[in-house]
Structure 1
Amino acid sequence: MQGSFLSHPQFQSLSRRRLLQALALGALAPLAACSPPLSLNATFLQLWRSHLDLKPEDWRLRLRAFRRLGCREIFLQWVGLEGGRPDDWMAPDSLLHTLFDEAGRQGMGIHVGLPYDQRWWDVLAHADTQALSGYLDQTRERGVAYMRTTAWNKRRAFRGWYLPYELEQYNWASPERQALLIPWLDAFSRAAQATSRGVPCISTYHSRLPGDGSLMKLWSGILDRVRIHPMIQDGVGVAGLANLRALEPLHDMLLARRASFDLILELFEELPSGATDGSTFKARSAEFDRVKQQWEVARGYGAKRIVAFALDPWVIDDTPEARALMRDWMDARL
């Protein structure tokens, strides 16, 4: 798959009805009497236009569910989409204020994802070095400006910045592209350190596309020159548990250099679609037995945090699979 599931447009199609069904008090009431058997530190929250329909009380229920499932932090995937496409949009300040207010009440922190330029995967697939350089310049300038001009870092619940551009070994195999990538990341890192108390986070995953690239070598070169916090997608939702073996060289390198990193635990299962480029990505909530196996790996992985992708919609949703995962998750005694 060329791009990662994290940025797939499937998730924009959630309707108001589907968003609100999962937040019914009756559906969440059992959480109050349970201690979650799997310990998560955080979850991603991927905002779409459909989230604009939610009221403050709806967000209160949602974040309360995150908290009761063990999360202490939320990673906003992005605060909006840009790039000049018809479906570009930005979350209004009122929505982010609501999230920060409720996170503060729940004792949770928020990592703010920068606006995401939707041309990312198209540019990586088709652009030459000069065009890629120009694109990176644009996204760097806009992203750094967002860090420096918005006031989210003044909020008490603010925990840092997240860069919504995922890195894999296929598109960044060549020295020419890496020579563009590293100063681009360094500019974000310096801006993050100037506007927060830490370095920015960015996701990375092992691409199934064949090529000469090495995720371990890519990140070794990045960390030699840039202060940044990698978040490793376990890839189980797309490629199965065997994908953890593909991550071993990266994992071993990070441990050897005592680098801080997170592990993203995928809570979905990709369904056959007949396409190999991610254009018709379909998924459902994973079965608990598989999630339990992921957790057994995760708790001994050496990661700073175990981050769910994502409680919403794969656990908190009104589908049979999500309801089953929630039920088995809360009933389990590990």
Structure 2
Amino acid sequence: MKRRIVISIVFILAIGLCAGLVWFNFFRAKMIANFFANMPQPAQTVSAIKVEARTWTPGIDAIGTAKAANGVELAVETSGIIKQINFKPNQYVTEGTLLAQIDDAVDRADLQDVQAAVKLGEAAYERAKTLTARGYGTEASYDEIVAKLATARSRQNRLQAIINQKGLKAPFSGVIGIPRIDVGQYVQTGTTVASFQDLDSMKVDFTVPEQMADKIKLGQEVRVGVNEKTLKFVGHVIGKDPRVDPQTRLVAVQALIENNKDRALLPGQFLHVRAVLPTEDNVVTVPQTAVITSLYGNYVFTIEPTEKDGKTIDIVKQVFVKSGRREGDVIEILSGVTPGQQVVMSGQNKLQAGAAVKIDNSIDVTKLDASKLANGQ
């Protein structure tokens, strides 16, 4: 009997101990959860900027190719032996300068013979004219002398034209390139002598989509540069094709850049082009780093001052926005935020809706590398 009582007591104590352990574990878990639930989260440091309405200068961006306003591949007009080359590579020459000379000794000798015939014909013409006026000559002899003089002058002009063709002259002022001929070389008609370019002004050929073609006007301002962020050359549209290319659905446009005095632009160069459109007022913009792209759309984190425990703290709110055009480091916002609101520019990877933040704008993040900003660096 006593043994049964002892066993019962031990069993009851064991059950009570187990129940106490279970209760203690549940109590500890609850207290830990309450502790972490009520523990204040540290404010995340972010940079922020106010949404503003600004004057927007839209444009049509394109890729273009430069070419000289006046540029040719100089070639000889007739065949012969090169006698002289009167230029050096990259030399600036003025219009009319003799650049290369083909041997014309035979033609000049023939010219002297013809010039003598012209002088003889002119003397005969004067005598016949005098005699005819006095009534001592016939009309037939007078006409024959006039015809011979005209023939002699025609031969003289022809030989002079041949001699002129053998002297290659600069058709305009510009810079000449590397000579492709040598003294003593026999050249055929059409042989290229050198590239000749007027680099003071440049033409830029580019294309725009057919949907944008109606926005391109003659005289419209165009900005050009070798880097899309530094379009320092300013020109204007001088031509637009009146048709759309059926293969590419693009329209060809040509602009003129007249301020290439330092010759920074070269023919054939790859260029970034921006055709400037009329300015627009009150366009809502934010830095591109403030907009986050997700599967559900673009959104920003707005900063809202909130009262908590008697203190005012900054809380972020996730707001979906509709974005529009981009220009440089800013993006147009069509809906979602209004001017005056603050949005987070960097540090978004550490945030979630409702998180407390601390604003630190000691660094201008709009001038930093976008890839670093995306990582919150």
**Could you say whether these structures have the same fold, taking a TM-score greater than 0.5 normalized by the shorter chain as the test?**
no
- Greater relative contact order (CA < 8 Å, ≥ 6 in sequence): 2
TM class by shorter chain equals under 0.3
Q: TM-score, normalised by structure 1?
A: 0.15
The structure having more radius of gyration, on CA atoms, is 2
Kindly indicate which of the two structures has a greater share of residues assigned to strand.
2
Kindly indicate which of the two structures has a greater share of residues assigned to helix.
1
